[in-house]
Homo-oligomer: A and B are copies of this chain.
Amino acid sequence: MSVTENEIVENVEWLAKNGADPAGGMTRLLFTKEWLAAQLALKQRFEEAGMVASFDEVGNLYGTYSGTDGSEDIIMTGSHVDTVIQGGKYDGALGVIGGFLAVKHLVEEYGRPKKNLTVISMAEEEGSRFPFVFWGSKNLVGSVPASEIADVVDPEGISFADAMRDCGFSLRTSPTSAADHMKAFVELHIEQGNTLEMEDIPVGVVNAIVGQRRYNITLKGEANHAGTTRMCYRHDVIQVFAEIVNRSLGKAVDEGDPLVLTFGHIEVVPNTVNVVPGDAMFTMDCRHTDRAALVRFTEQIEADMAEIAAEHGVEIEIDRWMDADPVPMDPAIVKCVESACKEVGVRYRVMHSGAGHDSQIIAPHIPTGMVFVRSVKGISHSPEEYTEPADLKEGIRTLGAALHALAY
């Protein structure tokens, strides 16, 4: 496939004109004027490339080269067009632009596909404007009921429904969707991690998206004078926290990949140099590609935490507020993407995704796979998000080869 680095960079920069944030990076939030401008510009570009382009009711944009076999079967690629606040140019956008370039070059080089070949620019994935995620993919594979967004407002008090209507969109009411005819979905995305960089590999073939359990843990000990309270009379929540973190991270390292465990948030009361802290709240985030392993590991940690707190006479409350199952990618699509890597001649590794993606919403309904490209320093959700053009090209060529195998 003859796609060039120049062409890729030009297209990435072209889309990034919509939502460039004066404070740095990209801010292209769902149903804003920057978002609408991006979707309309993409529609025009799709049409200029000879695609049939249209929106569904909720704001997803589809660009299609119709197939020669006359069936309604669709092979789809794409990703989301929205960004986080002050995000980068690649997260989501690469899957749309890279998907577009891949199918455009396929058609230029191989003529019309057998099956319908569609690029989707999904309306939303990040949850950055409204406290609601995966608006695009959830509406692709189903209909989000009105009740779920009835009370959803953005930080300025604008309701989801009003923002959507102002952009000309509404709730999905038609009984059919593109997903009814989808035979495969392949999403190109930046890795958003540093595994490929550490291993000096440009492309990842994703075989699963992790499951996650997230917790808020509250400790109630006893605040005491740091000078006059002997060590033996303390109920020190920082000591309990430290023992929990230590033991848990030790077990996480012993458990090994693909388990990851993070204590990202801690707040302490009164949080003063000369008082033994009496209250603390901290979070725990645990991810694994295997549901049974995730449950077994976190249940052990929950028991450890209770034991450690009890040893110190500290009360503990363990609130598990997120429990998302891992989502395996379709084995045939994984194999197809691996073959594409070999065909293209790119070094790759099979790997899981530690972050969430539209593919995890689509995969339970449609055979789905993902192609990762290396992220410099693993940085994402930041203006510093970057992938080398050479790696972008390898990812797009891999995607093109996979789509060719699926649609031609």
A residues sitting closer than 8 Å to B (CB atoms) are 191-195, 198, 210, 212, 214, 224-233, 236, 238-239, 241-246, 249, 252-253, 256-268, 270-277, 283, 285, 287, 353-356, 378, 380-381
Instruction: State how many angstroms separate the Cβ of A127 from the closest Cβ of chain B.
Output: 12
Measured between alpha carbons, how far is A374 from B262 in the docked complex, in Å? 44
Determine whether the beta carbon of B198 is less than 8 Å from that of A233: yes
CB within 8 Å for A214 and B260 given contacts A193-B228, A268-B266: no
Expressed in whole angstroms, the Cα–Cα distance for A378 and B224 within the complex equals: 8
On whether the beta carbons of B276 and A262 are closer than 8 Å, the reply is yes
Q: Is the CB of A264 within 8 A of B260?
A: no
**Given A241-B245, A242-B244, 12 additional A-B pairs, CB 8 A:** A194-B233, A226-B287, A228-B355, A231-B252, A231-B256, A231-B260, A232-B257, A236-B249, A236-B262, A242-B242, A263-B277, A264-B268
How far is it, in angstroms, between the C-alpha of A229 and the C-alpha of B355 when the chains are bound? 10
Q: Which residue of chain B has the shortest Cβ distance to A198 in the bound complex?
A: B233
Which residues of B sit under 8 angstroms from A264, Cβ to Cβ? 226, 238, 268, 270-277
In the complex, 26 of the A-B residue pairs with CB atoms within 8 angstroms, ordered by the A residue number, are A191-B228, A192-B228, A193-B230, A194-B224, A194-B229, A194-B233, A195-B233, A198-B233, A225-B355, A225-B381, A226-B264, A227-B285, A227-B353, A229-B354, A230-B258, A231-B256, A231-B261, A232-B257, A236-B249, A242-B245, A264-B274, A264-B277, A265-B268, A265-B271, A267-B271, A273-B285
Contacts of A233 in B (CB 8 A): 194-195, 198, 378
Residues of B within 8 A of A277 (CB): 263-264
Collect the chain B residues with CB atoms within 8 Å of residue A227's CB. 193, 210, 212, 260, 285, 287, 353-356
CB distance from A205 to the nearest CB of B (A): 15
Given contacts A193-B225, A238-B245, contact A214 B261 (CB under 8 A): no
